[in-house]
Amino acid sequence: MGAVLIGGLIEGCLGLLARDWKKNITPIVAASVVTSIGFSLFSVGTRSFGGGYSESFGSAKNLLLGIITLAACLLFNIFAKSYWKQLSVLFGLIVGYILAIFMGKVDLSVIFNGGLITLPHLLPFKIKFDLGAIIAVVVIFLVSAAETIGDTQPL
């Protein structure tokens, strides 16, 4: 918790200095970061496309769900105008989730058993400031900031 708090403060200050930060992140650096993150997430996407860690991995039902979700993302990106294109993944997730509900792949019992509205437990974990964790989180947030610049800056 302490590392996230410190990292969040640094990320917030970095956001205030975004113009100066953008000057230091060249398009080559931003593209390298975005590409590296994309490659590291490839196995996650492939696993999810096939159905996750289920016994029915790679079944026709799972592949159909993945194909429709991917098609929704791509079609939204093709037909949307200006900044709306950035919402293509969100649109695909919504379409895929709704389709998964109708296919019986979503277990809503957890939501309905726990109640639709519940109050959160404030600070369920003790706040501890560990230097190693703080450094790791700050580095992750800096990489995230470089990725955001790469995703949003026109090339």
* pLDDT single digits (tens) 93-132: 999 999 999 999 988 887 778 777 777 777 777 888 999 9
Global pTM reads 0.67
36-71 pLDDT per residue, tens: 888 998 999 889 888 888 888 899 999 999 999 999
pLDDT at 78 (0 to 100): 95
Long-range contacts of 138-144 (CB under 8 A, 24+ apart): 138/6, 138/7, 138/10, 140/7, 141/7, 141/8, 141/10, 141/11, 141/14, 142/14, 143/33, 143/37, 144/11
pLDDT digits (tens, 9 = 90+) for 9-18: 988 888 787 7
Q: Identify the pLDDT of residue 91.
A: 97
pLDDT value, residue 71: 97
3-state SS, residue 25: coil
114-137: burial string, b at 16+ Cβ within 10 Å, e else: eeeeeeeeeeeeeeeeeeebbeeb
**What's residue 137's pLDDT?**
93
